Structure formats: C-alpha cells, structure tokens
A and B are shown apart, each in its own frame.
Chain A
Amino acid sequence: MNSKDKTIHSYIKKIKHHLPICKSRERAFLNDMFTSIKDYSDNIPELTEQEIISEFGDPKNLAANYIIEADASYLNQEINYSRKIKKLAVIFIIIVLSIYSITVYKMYKKAQSSYINREIVTIEEDNHDN
C-alpha cells in the first residue's frame, strides 16, 4: 500500500469511527468514499489528510451528513438490531460464566469431600498373660 492509500485509509477509518453502525450499506459508503478520494487525488502525487479534509470535509461532519441524509427507518432498525445483539451477547456471557462458576464450585466441593480421613490406631502389646 503506497503512502497515498495509507492517508486515504486513515481518513476513511476516522469516518467509520464516527458512524453509529457499520453494516453492508455503511461499508459500501466507505468504499464509495475511498473511490471518490482516489479519483480526486489522481493528479496529486503527494496527498495529505488536510487536503482530503479541505475537499471532502472533516470525517466527523461527513459521518454526521451521512446520518442526516440516510433513511431514518433503516438507521433505527439497524441500531435497534445492534443493541439487541449486544444485549443477547451480554446475557449469553453471563449464563456461560454462571454455569462455569457453578461447575467449578461443585468440583471443589466434591474434591473436598473425597479427602481420605486418617485415623491413628495404636497397637499395644498385651502383657497380662505373662
């Protein structure tokens, strides 16, 4: 990857950071932005991030424009879906950790109850017959 591509990728990454979700549509948008910047920079041998910002805008504002212009119902749906997935993931992790903790506790208890009990038996000689 040449330095120009690295600069563009860095800029694109900043836009991605400011997007609330990154599904297929957002990935397509970021790809389209990459291509647009490549087209712009065709005749520019050394491209700086400042030049990209001058032409295309601050990454934060660009992400904000995308959100403003995007279909509101699509965004709501995807954000709600992401939230649900995150909640389910958290619940799943809690369940797995709980099962793991109970299993470990049971194993500990079982190990504890299976200790061999030592009993000291003293054998004394019986001297009464003598």
Chain B
Amino acid sequence: MDNKSNFRRGSVELLVLHLLQYKDYYGYELSQTIKQYSDSILDIPVGSLYPALYKLIDAGYITDYKKQVGKRLVRVYYHIEKLGLERLEILINDYNETVNAVRSILNYAPDTGDETDE
C-alpha cells in the first residue's frame, strides 16, 4: 500500500476491525488476509499494520493475547472488544457516506457549452 495514499491509509482501521469481528487474528495473518481478498490491491506492510494495531489497543477497541505456537514461538492474537464493534459501525457508516459522496462528485460533469456574449 502506498504510504502517500491517505485514502487507503485511513481504511486500515476499518479493515482490521471488520476482520476481527469474525475471528481473532494474528498480525501477519491479518496482513495476508487483506492482501488476498483485495487481490493484492491493498497490501498493508506489517511494519505499518502493527503500529495501527497498537493504536487500536490504546483506544480500547481491541485487546491482544499471547498463544504458544510450537516449542518457542509465541504469537500475539488480536481480539475485538465491544467498543471496537461500536467503532466499526461508525466507520462503516462513514465509509458508505464518503463513497456515495465521492461517487456523486465523480458522476458530476458540468456542461462545457460555448459561452455567448449578450
């Protein structure tokens, strides 16, 4: 994902909360799931994803817990909280409004007839 694209950057929170409402994910799994289901159009590097997850934890939208995987590997899983579900609803409404508004503007094409002096 292009870091200069603020439009896409703003969607990370929405996408993460949406996925977490269905099940708990670990970081790399979240990144790969988003990439896979967006046909690689949305490719959020884990280096950007983790700080976004930490912000969500700070805000109380999600929590994290550790799970032993194999002998030495400990994975951190993320779980959405009630506050996160409420936040998700707000973000989805906001997204839908924004998309509709942008679509309206993009569908607008002013007349480009010649101006005549009267």
Q: Is A20 close to B, CB under 8 A? A: no
> Are A35 and B51 neighbours in the complex by a CB distance under 8 Å?
no
- Assign chain B's interface to a size class: 20 to 34
| Interface-located stretch among B69-77, B82-90, B100-108 | B69-77
Q: Which residues of A contact B28 (CB under 8 A)?
A: 35-36, 39-40
Chain A: how many interface residues by the 8 Å CB criterion? 22
A33 contacts B46, CB within 8 Å? Answer: yes
Within 8 A of B (CB), among A18-68: 25, 28-29, 31-33, 35-36, 38-40, 56-57, 61-63, 65-66, 68
Which DSSP category, helix, strand, loop or mixed, fits chain A's interface? Answer: helix
Q: Closest Cβ of chain A: how far from B113's Cβ, in Å?
A: 47
**Given known A-B contacts A35-B28, A35-B75, A69-B52, A56 and B3 have beta carbons under 8 A apart:** no
Task: Write the chain A residue with the least CB distance to B30.
Answer: A36
Interchain CA distance A68-B52 in the complex, whole Å? 10
On whether the beta carbons of B46 and A69 are closer than 8 Å, the reply is no
Asked if A56 contacts B45 (CB within 8 A), the reply is yes
- Hey, which chain B residues are within 8 Å of A70, CB to CB? 51, 54
- Interface membership of chain B positions 50-80, coded 1 if the CB is closer than 8 angstroms to chain A and 0 otherwise: 1110110010000000000000011110000
The 5 closest A-B pairs by CB, nearest first: A69-B51, A36-B28, A62-B47, A65-B47, A39-B28
Residues of A near any B CB (own CB < 8 A)? 25, 28-29, 31-33, 35-36, 38-40, 56-57, 61-63, 65-66, 68-71
Residues of chain B at the chain A interface (Cβ within 8 Å): 3, 26-29, 31, 45-48, 50-52, 54-55, 58, 73-76
Kindly list 7 other residue pairs between chains A and B, CB separation below 8 angstroms, not including A33-B46, A70-B51, A71-B55: A31-B76, A33-B50, A35-B74, A39-B26, A39-B75, A65-B48, A68-B48
Interchain residue pairs with CB less than 8 A apart (6): A32-B76, A35-B27, A35-B75, A36-B27, A56-B45, A62-B45
